[in-house]
Each structure stands twice: as structure tokens, then as C-alpha cells.
Amino acid sequence: MPDPGVFAIQAGEDDAGKRLDVVIAAKLPDFSRSAAADLIRQQAVTINGRPAKASTTVRLGDRIHGNRPPRPVPSYGPEPIGLDILFEDEALLVINKPPGLVVHPAPGHFTGTLVNALLHHCPELTQSDADGRPGIVHRLDKDTSGTLVVAKTGTALLNLASQFKSRRIDKTYLALVHGVPKAASATIRLPIGRHPVDRQRMSTHSRHGREAVSHWRLCETFAGAALLEVDLETGRTHQIRVHLAASGHAVVGDALYGPGKKAGTGKDILKGASRQMLHAWRLGFAHPLSGDPMAFESPLPADMAGLIDVLRDQGKAAGR
């Protein structure tokens, strides 16, 4: 069985003339440039069989080989964190995730996560991969709220993972966005990949972007804002946030992809949003054991519902 830490890169035309650490970071989306440079300094990377420096200029046809160290498995345990459970049986658990809750342990968040809560509620949860994410089939960003399904057995985990991979899961979100779209609905087809400079961001201009498709419908309009219903055909990282920002209608409160506090619509109420106003409203899938269709909805969290109510009241006061 091949070592998952070993990688091999054949330099193409897009790589020629670039630094070695830049090329490695671009080819390995989960690897930062600084991590690539550290690996090179440890002499764990060669070009055409010879050690190289991070600043070495890559040439067309160069053969780059390296060996990444195994990722440390985070240490974590059960914590008595309350869960808003929408459904539970012997195979799965469906919850309404609140905003602000990190899904799984990672550097900087080894406690207080959904996984910690799940281990307290279901100590027997199956670990889904070597990184230790018990039962986690999909995830929501920390500041995105809404419906999330968790597998309680290995069989359920494999089945649900297959449904997500084959795009048989129905995912509908509600997004409060800056500006009012001119159309009643639209489809956004823009590939998404890691941002070429800022590794914390995703971008529709990445050279290694993957297919991403989002469908949105206009639900309600306000002064300088709109509520959209968004269906995901694919499930790329930050997909809705990136696609809507690229279309000129960034999610309200999105510090990573939004217009920022000094720009935007000029509406103080929108600038005051403490997080991205994005909610995983509906989730539909086939039960992993029976095959029966299932669908669940999570009500809007108080902060998002309250902001929408304020926008509605402002519209009524203005006679709209």
C-alpha cells in the first residue's frame, strides 16, 4: 500500500519559473507555503533526485518528490455540551448546529467542539478517519448554523458518505446578502480552489479549482439586502460564501469574503452583523439502513431572524 505521506509532482508549464515552495503549496491544497518550506529545510524534498532549497526555481519537466510527516491525531474527549437534536435513531443523529460552534477538533479548537459534545452524548461513535472525527460525514463552518447529520455506526457512515460523494443529498441554505439581485433566480457555475496568495481563503480564480455549482432563488428583498434560498449541487469549502461574493452579493457579516466594515451598502444594521448570516435550512437524504427518504429543517437562529425582522420593520416604516 503506498505511503499517503509521499508525493510526486511533474512540473508543468504553469510551474516553470516559480519557487519550489510555491509550487508544492499550489499542488497540495491542504499544504501551506510555510509548511512546504519547512519540509524542504528538513531535506524531505528533492528535485530530480537531488536536495533543493525553498527558493530553487522550478523548470518545466522537473520531478519533485517529497515525504510529508504524518498528521498528529488530536487528543480530545467528551464534554457535556448541549445539543439541539432534531432526530435520532440507532444509525444516525440529526442536529441543529448553533452559530459559533466548531464541528471537529483542530489546532486552536481541541475543546468545546461538536465532536466533544457528540462523544458525551454517544460514546460509541465511529471515527470516520485518521484525524479523529467521530461520525462526522459533512461539516458546517463555525459561524454557519443549521442542519447537520452524524453517523452513529460504521455502516451508516459509509452509506451517508457515499450519498454526499454521489450528490444524492439535498442541501438548501438561507443566506442574507448585500444588495438586491436583479434576477429572481440564477445558477452560479464557477470552479473553486485555494486562493493563490491567502491560504485561508478559497477563490473562483484558482488555477486548480474544482467544479462548483450553486442555484439560488430570491425569497425576500429589503433596503440594500436580500434573503436568498440556495441549493448546492456540489459541496466545496466555503462554496456559498465564495459564489455569492463573486456574483456581487456577499453574505452579510462575512468577514472573510464580504465588503468589510468600511464598505458595503452603508446600512449600519448590516455592518453590525457579528457573523455570516448563512443558515443550513434543509437537509434531505435516504436513511442509511432502510433507504427511506428523510428531510429535516432547522429554524433560523435568533440573531439572523432578528436581523431580518429589523429589515422588514425598516421597510414598513419607509412605506415599502
Active site residues: 141
Query: Is there a contact between 225 and 265 (Cβ–Cβ < 8 Å)?
Result: yes
15 to each of 9, 67, 209, 285, how far by Cα in Å?
10, 20, 16, 41
* Cell numbers standing for residue 10: 511533474
Give the number of other CB atoms < 10 A from CB of residue 72: 9
Q: How far apart are CA 55 and CA 58, in angstroms?
A: 9
HSE of 184 in the Cβ direction (CA atoms, 13 Å)?
0
The whole-angstrom distance between residue 40's C-alpha and the CA centroid of its chain comes to: 29
Q: In the β-sheet with 63-67, what is the strand arrangement from edge to edge? A: 6-10, 63-67, 45-47, 50-51
Q: Are strands 63-67 and 6-10 parallel, antiparallel or unpaired?
A: antiparallel
* DSSP helix/strand/coil, 40: helix
Give the residue from 254, 226, 247 showing the smallest Cα distance to 141.
Answer: 254
Give the residue from 107, 98, 91, 79 showing the smallest Cα distance to 148.
Answer: 98
Q: How far apart are CA 195 and CA 179, in angstroms?
A: 25
Dihedral over alpha carbons 176, 177, 180, 182 (to 10 degrees): -100
